[in-house]
Amino acid sequence: MLWPAITRGWGRSPTRCSGSPNIVPTVCVILCPMAIKALLFDVDGVLLDSSATHRRIWDAWSDMRGLDRDLVWSLTHGRRPEDTVRDVAPGLDPTAERKVLNQLMAEEGDAFPAAPGAVSLLGKLDQRLWALVTSGSRIPVHRRFRLASLPLPPVQIYGEDVEQSKPHPEGYLKAAELLVVDPADCIVIEDTPHGITAGKAAGCTVIAVATTHAPGELTKADHCFPSLAEATSYLLAMISAC
């Protein structure tokens, strides 16, 4: 089968997530086996630069409960807080612990900066299909997007909207259904192994941004970029030209 090739001159090409540095060519060629109809974004670590704040909150909670900080942190990425609590402290009430975590968040403040490239990219998607798929909660995400001057898409899937959180594909499947597109025609943008697994299980193409994990931890993604800013030209070309 011959696939149409789309040629663009941007600064950096995607790479397989092997841990090796990206090569910076002057021209990148994308092979398009299908038309990409929608972009499905994770939030924390992709559109919001929130990792450092979340680490402080989980470290504080771990200390309060006498748990290993690194172990707890390793089980938080791309997951609902309640699911993490169930794994690391099965004797605690996940709902009650979520309230404790919310209080720690309130003490930290709730203004996260937009990830580099997020404002520019989302500003160019006004007439395009896109959605949020996050393990976070609706009200905090709305507040953080407003403070970061980020727009919200018509379709938003939050932790409370699904029965099973990432790495289960339910969130991405639901987003594609609401957008009335085939998951195979969607690109998922993720920063965690759990999120990548969810996107692939849904049947989507997955682009990783190595903002919270090393490239070597993101090897299941189809392609990997150092940041959303460096993925922008690739994503726009895929959704507009393929």
- Look at residues 219, 146, 138, 209 and name the one whose alpha carbon lies nearest to residue 171: 138
Active site (annotated) includes residue 44: yes
Give the DSSP per-residue string, 164-202.
Answer: S-TTSTHHHHHHHHHHT--GGGEEEEESSHHHHHHHHHT
Residue 15 has φ and ψ, to the nearest 5°, of -135, 155
Dist. CA 215–CA 35, nearest whole Å: 27
Catalytic residue among 42, 49, 83, 191: 42
Catalytic residue among 44, 49, 185, 191: 44
Pairing relationship of beta strands 155-157 and 186-190 according to DSSP bridges: unpaired
Active site (annotated) includes residue 93: no
User: ∠ CA(168), CA(100), CA(103), 5° rounding?
Assistant: 110
Dist. CA 176–CA 188, nearest whole Å: 11
Active site positions, annotated? 42, 44
